[in-house]
Structure formats: C-alpha cells, structure tokens
Structure 1
C-alpha cells in the first residue's frame, strides 16, 4: 500500500467514511434521546394505563441505561435490523423501502433539471458578457441568481403552491398521483441549486474563454459554435459537476421541507411525523438513510475528482 497512491487514497477515503458513519449513528441516537417526552406514552395514547406503559417500555429496552441502549442499537444495525415503529408496529426497514423511492425521484429529477437549466444559461451568459460586454445583462443575471439561491426551498415551494396550484390551478399541490404531481416539488428543489450552478458555469466559462488554446482556436477561424461547444464548454464543466455533486447532497436534505409542503409520501414527511410522535426507531432509521446518502454522494464526488485529476487529488488526500 505504501507504494501505491491509489490504495492509499482508497484506504483514507474508506477510513473517513467509516468514522463519518459512526459519528452519524452516534449523533442520531443522541439527538433523538434529547427530545423531551415519553415515546411510549405518545404511541399508546393518554388513556393507556401506567402498567401497560411500563410493560411496553421494558419490552423496548427503554428502561436500560443509555449506554446499553446504544450498544443494543449498534448491534441491531450490524445485523441489518432497524427496529419496529412504535406507532404503526411496522418494521422501519419496510417503511423506508416504501418511501425512499419517492424521495430519490424528486431529488434526482431536481438535480437533472438544475443541470439542464444552469449549464446553457451560465454558458450563454459567459459568452454574452465576456470581455466586460453587456454590463446590464451581467448585473441582472448576478442579482437574480443571488436572490434565487438565497431563498429557502420551503418558501419557494409555498410560493409555487400559491401561484401555480391555488391561483392558476395548473398543477396539483399535494400527493404523488401522476407525472403532473412531480412538477412543483421538482421545480421547488431545483431553483436554488440551478441559480448557484449557473453562476459557477459562467465564472468557469469566462476563465476558459481567456485561455490560450481558445485564442488559438479562434485564430484558426473555427466556427464560434465549435469553439464554444467542443473546446470551451467541456473544460468549464469540471468544477461545475463537482459542485453539482455536492448540491445533490443538499437537495436530498432539502426534500424534508419540500415534501411536507406538498404532502409528498417520502422520507421527509416520515421523519417530521416521527419526530412529532417521538417514534425513536423511525427517526433513527430515516436519519441514517439521509446521512448515508450524503456521505455516499460526497464519496462519489471525491472518486470523480480523482479520476479527472489523479495527480493533484491523490497527492492532496
């Protein structure tokens, strides 16, 4: 391993991933136990007798010391058991399997929409404003993108519901009932990242357009379309795709609020309901899935960077 930089890179990344997973598991366990209230009483209702509540707590191991509960939790995870929902009595793994596709769908669709909008808009603005041209267009683009990137997803979602759902009636505002029901949630998730990516594409494209090989291509009288699309754009997209991978992690996390605005049957709605009900196993399982998703996306970005620029990435790692 000492002589192979790729093995050292893989070992470091794997070590960081394992430490991050342990921190994630510990944080999920600790935070859920800091929530005030009795989860068993919340699940059984106020009419349940004290004896029934005590028996249920003992059956779930909630009377054990916290460190024993933690070890039991880790042991169950190592054997693939996420526990049983205190409210519904269903296995947490079944609940996650039922709801995960809905969350992944809107996150991936929003990511693709953000790329589809940001790349042509950012590249087009770079071409229009290169060399200090069209200052008014540059100012309008910069101001608009900053404002859109700063608005939280749930506010965008509420605005879309009011305008296009309630006022105009163009799209459904709740549920997952057909292709049209995806429009507003996906747009709500994509607007902010698209604005950020468009600015990055423009900056990277402007830097590429000032490069010597672009001047050489122009000196050869190549068509402008060929210069921009074949020579400039591919070289400008490396940083964009890297940041896009990181924004995908943020999109996954952003689904929590957006799903609740649109009553989307995904993990975001499930975790909010579980927190309110103090359903420990569901909260821990959903937090674990979200956290692992973010960690795996970040790992994929690191690997992509290593493949695109092996020398600098592996040396820095």
Structure 2
C-alpha cells in the first residue's frame, strides 16, 4: 500500500512539474510557430484556439483532463497529433536503452567477477588499483562526452561507423556504446564487491575444501548469488539509460524521444515537450514501482517493516 501511495503522489508531482517546466521557459510558443512577422490578430486568434489566453490554473486542469483521457494535443509546429509523434519516436529510444542495458550487464558482470577473483584476499594490488581508477573515471564521464569522442574516432577519424541517424544495424553501435560505458563501469564495481562477499562466505570455503573445479565453483555457486544483487540494478539502470539518452540522441541525431524533446523545447512546442516529459517520467515511475514490488516479494524483511 505504501508503494502505491508513493507512486500516485509521484505521478501527481510529475503532472505538475511537466506543466510548470514548459510554461516557465521564456518565449511565446504561438509567435515561434507562426513566425515573427505574423499579425497580432492572427497570434491572438491562435492563442484563443489553443486555450493559451486562459488563466494558468484553468490551463493546468484542462491539461490534466486531456492526459487522463489520452488526448495529448496537437503539435504547435507540425500540426500532428502528439500521440502519433510519441509512438513514432518511443520505439527508437527504447531500443537504444534496452540494448545498452543488455550490453552493460553482459560486459560488467563478468568483468566485476574477474576483478574480484584476481584481487581476492588483497592479491594483485596493481589490478585492484587499475580497476578502481578506470571504472571510477568511467562512471564520472558524461554520456555526451563519450558520444563526441566515439564520433570523432570511429566515424570521422576511422570512417568505420556512421556518425548520425538510424541507417542500419551498424548505426546502433556508437550510441549504444556511448550509453553503456558508464553503466558498465558502475555495475562492474558492484559485481566485484558482491563477488568478494560471496567468495568470503562459509559455503564457498566449504566448496573449496571439497576441491570443486574452479569453473563449477564460480559459475554454479558464485555467479547466481552475485547476479541476484546485481540484476536488481537492471530495472533502475534501464530507466537511467532512457533518461540519459537525451543528449546521446542529440549528438547522434537519433530519431527518438530525446532528440524530439530538444527540438520541442527549442521551438516552444508545448504539447510535444510536455508529452515527452510525461513519457520519460512515467516510465521511470512505473519501472521503479515494479522494482519496489519485486523487492518486496523477494525480501521477507520488507513485510516486517511495512507491518
């Protein structure tokens, strides 16, 4: 019940924030869409037709009513239904985020386990220092810097991959890598800590005393327990990558929601910008709610806390 109340409150805050953020941006959306030379009468008529001449509180409740009825409005610039714009762009953003999540987990978990095995009991201090330094730096670098560096090296310098747009399977490589590098470093650090914890547990000591083969010890006993903690990050990672894709999509001119929201804010296209903010926020809240529920089912102590 507590999770449901928090979800509802968060959705309400998201509705208020999406409305307020757009209206606080300076500039006239009608003038931006009609052009600076448009007659005053035409501008006023357009504002009345769009309801922008009404008090803000009335505009807000109209906006909320439209959201709950599935009416996201019409783009000020193109005249397209906003729902069609979202549905055309959302799959491209989700593809990037899902692929980056999968790549992050497939690379980071083995990397973290390898680092833990190499540095167990204080061995190989050089490996530990290098691992912590590299992953710590990688986590701190923003996605858009990765994007610019990858385009400069692999697209402009080596001409191996397309620099922008969605033109084929190879066009996914650079944006997915740009999104995945930071999460790989973060998850690898978590996987190393969890693996070290497992390697120091009593059942692993018993397994080693029985002289189990290393492959069986690591893959059958250590890996499943490490994944339990690491995969908990999967849902949260997905939402972070969806939100973090905005600048990456802008750099790569990727036809997703990230590129669309930058265009909409620049052009003062209120309905599109508000809808994209709602979609981003809604995905984050829904996934976090699902993760909370999953952890509540898997963690028996959570039931005690809520009772």
Question: Is 1:177 aligned to residue 195 of structure 2?
Answer: no
- Note the 1:26-45 alignment, pairs <5 A: 26-45=16-35
Q: Which residue of 1 aligns with 2:290?
A: 300
Please give the alpha-carbon distance, in whole angstroms, between the structure 2 residues aligned to 1:113 and 1:21.
30
Aligned residue for 1:86, secondary structure, equals coil
2:88 maps to which of 75, 89, 98: 98
Please give the alpha-carbon distance, in whole angstroms, between the structure 2 residues aligned to 1:64 and 1:18.
28
Cα drift, residue 235 of structure 1: 0.9
Question: Is 1:70 aligned to residue 60 of structure 2?
Answer: yes
Aligned residue for 1:83, secondary structure, equals coil
Please give the alpha-carbon distance, in whole angstroms, between the structure 1 residues aligned to 2:304 and 2:15.
30
- Note the 1:81-96 alignment, pairs <5 A: 81-96=71-86
Please give the alpha-carbon distance, in whole angstroms, between the structure 2 residues aligned to 1:152 and 1:50.
44
Please give the alpha-carbon distance, in whole angstroms, between the structure 2 residues aligned to 1:44 and 1:315.
60
**TM-score (ref. length: structure 1):** 0.95
1:160 maps to which of 150, 159, 168: 150
Please give the alpha-carbon distance, in whole angstroms, between the structure 2 residues aligned to 1:150 and 1:244.
19
Greater than 6 Å deviation, 4+ residue runs = none
Instruction: Determine if contact 2:3/2:293 at 8 Å carries over to the other structure.
Output: no
Please give the alpha-carbon distance, in whole angstroms, between the structure 1 residues aligned to 2:206 and 2:90.
50
Q: Over the residues paired in the alignment, what is the CA RMSD in angstroms?
A: 0.9
Please give the alpha-carbon distance, in whole angstroms, between the structure 1 residues aligned to 2:216 and 2:281.
42
Q: Which residue of 2 aligns with 1:115?
A: 105
Cα drift, residue 304 of structure 1: 2.4
Q: Which residue of 2 aligns with 1:25?
A: 15
Q: Which residue of 2 aligns with 1:263?
A: 253
Q: Name whichever of 57-66 and 293-302 sits farther off.
A: 293-302
Please give the alpha-carbon distance, in whole angstroms, between the structure 1 residues aligned to 2:298 and 2:112.
22
Count residues in correspondence. Answer: 306
Q: Which residue of 2 aligns with 1:193?
A: 183
Cα drift, residue 245 of structure 1: 2.2
Q: Which residue of 1 aligns with 2:301?
A: 312
Please give the alpha-carbon distance, in whole angstroms, between the structure 1 residues aligned to 2:70 and 2:243.
23
**TM-score (ref. length: structure 2):** 0.98
1:274 maps to which of 255, 264, 268: 264
Structure 1: unaligned runs, 5 residues or longer: 1-10
Question: Is 1:286 aligned to residue 286 of structure 2?
Answer: no
Cα drift, residue 238 of structure 1: 2.1
Please give the alpha-carbon distance, in whole angstroms, between the structure 1 residues aligned to 2:193 and 2:202.
17
Question: Is 1:212 aligned to residue 202 of structure 2?
Answer: yes
Please give the alpha-carbon distance, in whole angstroms, between the structure 2 residues aligned to 1:248 and 1:217.
35
Instruction: Determine if contact 1:197/1:244 at 8 Å carries over to the other structure.
Output: no
